[in-house]
Homo-oligomer: A and B are copies of this chain.
Amino acid sequence: MVKKQSIEKNLRFTPKFDKSGLIPAIAQDARTGQVLMMAYMNRQSLDLTIETGYAVYFSRKRRKLWKKGEESGHIQKVEQILVDCDQDCLLLKVSVDAGQCHAGYQSCFYRALKKGSSKKLEFIAKKAYKPEKIYKKGKSGSINSP
């Protein structure tokens, strides 16, 4: 077993997958700094991401590899892959077009908790595109959601 201090200090990339074989990966717009989404990768999707230079996740719902944008066209070109101190979370700096979330927004984080409330959200973004025009099956996010 690799020691905690060693994991934090050394320069070997040893991403830690959980017992389901997954590691969370945050996608951040390399240009604007906006956090776009969080999804999961398994070993194979991480390898494909590194190999191809485009983000490939693992869909927990569909139990299969999910190349971001395979249906919508909203792909993510990976500029840099960062890893955290414990090597159990990845941060992808990506180049993207407009509209990364299958719900039509640039980021999946398009709502925020209202000030002073613990239950009510408010929209903090406007839609970047109309998802119903892109997803052929007519189901929002049928193939493009985590």
Q: Which residues of A contact B (CB under 8 A)?
A: 4-5, 8-13, 24, 26, 28, 32-35, 37-38, 47, 50-51, 80-86, 89, 91, 101-103, 105, 108-113, 117-124, 140-141, 145-146
Q: Which of B47, B113, B123 sits near A13, CB closer than 8 Å?
A: B113
Q: Which B residues are CB-close (under 8 A) to A89?
A: 38, 108
Contact at B83–A11, with CB atoms within 8 Å? Answer: no
Contact at B50–A38, with CB atoms within 8 Å? Answer: no
Closest Cβ–Cβ distance, residue A9 to chain B (whole Å):
8
Known: A5-B140, A13-B119, A13-B120. A50 touches B113 (CB 8 A): yes
Q: Which B residues are CB-close (under 8 A) to A83?
A: 109, 111-113, 121
- Copies of this chain in its oligomeric complex: 2
Q: Which B residues are CB-close (under 8 A) to A35?
A: 26, 28, 35, 91
Task: Name A89's closest neighbour in chain B (CB-CB).
Answer: B38
Q: Which B residues are CB-close (under 8 A) to A9?
A: 103
9 interchain residue pairs of minimum CB distance? A33-B33, A84-B108, A82-B109, A81-B113, A11-B121, A38-B89, A82-B112, A85-B108, A85-B103
A sample of 12 cross-chain residue pairs with beta-carbon separation below 8 angstroms, ordered by A number, consists of A4-B140, A8-B140, A11-B111, A13-B118, A13-B119, A13-B120, A24-B38, A35-B91, A82-B110, A83-B111, A85-B110, A86-B108
